[in-house]
Structure 1
């Protein structure tokens, strides 16, 4: 294999930043990728923020990542829907990251007989909006969710996230959502499409076995698990699949991005 051809997909929370603080060495890692001309995308299942918002958040943590190098589950969802039904309509529960992505994809947001109900993440889930979503799905709207994450982290502790609210709506309607974000390989394939990269030449770096590593394996990518976020060495052993490499931190890749696996 050509060791000069590696492209990188990396999760954001737990890999590059942790509780709003930069993971030590993350800035040097990104600088090394840039210096070597290695294409990369920063991935996140969080659909709340636009790439511009996330760029500002990363800058505040000391990381300079261009908007074009950030790929969210909201962008992946909008891309998927534009493939499925160009210029369609949707009732959306979510924040600016999701509504902006759908608008840019040519979608009209409406409560009147939408093609889709699209559920994303928000810190202020509305009972009336959830009720409206249930009624629209019962009336025939197709159910899409940006990601299956049941909880989201906060400084005060876990918060209910998209997967939890999707479960509520599924229970009320009997209709399962189609999840676009990780671990759906669609998230990875859409990111590869943005990079113009192939799976056999791409590495996925993540801090979760159930989303990052799972999606990477199912997409045919090499996978690296770092222990600066959710996973531990012990918890990783509980899964029936393995990453190609387990590292304490992304800093352990410094000086090895050209040949991370020693091929």
Structure 2
């Protein structure tokens, strides 16, 4: 089946750490050559839209910043519908903080409406303790994404979901999760393509996030065996992606 638009994961699909995955640039070039629209749909909330795009450009991808849709952007959009101008405490990168601040939210450490948690590579006990106290005091809890791990050149490392579990275990409060596999981020990304779901293909390497996003929300999926979930592990799942390949160079967009 020929798809008219693509949703494409980044970590483990386009690159691993700072290394381009074999066939990824060629895949994007073929989409460009055929005039097929795409959106990079990433659970990575550590970068702004421009920063995420610049990483791809620096790696040799011929893309535009507007093709990036991050879980940080989806979090800001969600908060705008729930409580515009809310006071928010952020555990995460400076880029996540700037994304929320630029969307009109007040960043604060007390009397907050929400605690938003994204991957923080400088996480420490003090940050976790403050977050737990704010949630226990009544702040609503939001996780930008549930990824428990992600691939780097050195191997798999802890993701945001692994760190969020500390606050969940401490507070007994489950967060509203924005990123894949939730429909919140999918619906926002599909709307940017302007296509019905049955004409869109979601491409990713992580069964628990990428593939489940499509399975749970009515979008066909292509699992590529270059990242988190091996092909053998995918085959053991009760629900299967529509397609599975070892490398993106195996996939025809025509």
Q: Same fold (TM over 0.5)?
A: yes
Q: Does the alignment pair 1:182 with 2:180?
A: yes
Please show how residues 110-189 of structure 1 align to structure 2 within 5 Å.
110-189=108-187
**Helix, strand or coil at the partner of 1:143:** strand
Match of 1:261 in 2: none
Using the alignment, how far apart are the partners of 2:228 and 2:26 within structure 1? 22
1:40 pairs with 2:1? no
TM superposition shift of 1:233: 2.2
- Larger deviation: 72-81 or 145-154? 145-154
Greater CA deviation, 36-45 or 113-122? 36-45
Name the counterpart of 2:253: 257
Instruction: Name the SS for the 1:118 alignment partner.
Output: strand
Consecutive unaligned residues in structure 1, runs of 5 or more:
259-263
Q: Please give the alpha-carbon distance, in whole angstroms, between the structure 2 residues aligned to 1:195 and 1:91.
A: 32
For these two proteins, the number of residue pairs brought into alignment is 254
Name the SS for the 1:135 alignment partner: helix
SS in 1 for 2:85: coil
Q: TM-score with structure 1 length normalisation?
A: 0.90
Consecutive unaligned residues of structure 2, counting only runs of 5 or more, are none
Kindly state the Cα deviation for residue 184 of structure 1 after the two structures are TM-superposed: 1.0
Task: Show the counterpart of 1:99.
Answer: 97
**Partner residue in 1 for 2:210:** 212
CA shift digits 1:200-258 (9 cap, x unpaired): 111000111111110011121111011111222211112111111111111112xx313
Q: State the shift of 1:144 in Å.
A: 0.3
- For 2:154 and 2:13, the matched residues in 1 are separated by 20
Q: State the distance in 2 between where 1:219 and 1:6 align.
A: 18
**In structure 2, distance between residues paired with 1:202 and 1:31:** 18
Instruction: Give me the CA root mean square deviation.
Output: 1.7
Match of 1:10 in 2: 8
Moved more, 202-211 or 10-19: 10-19
Q: CA deviation at 1:43?
A: 1.7
3-state SS of paired residue (1:153): strand
Would you say the 8 A contact 2:25–2:60 is kept in 1?
yes
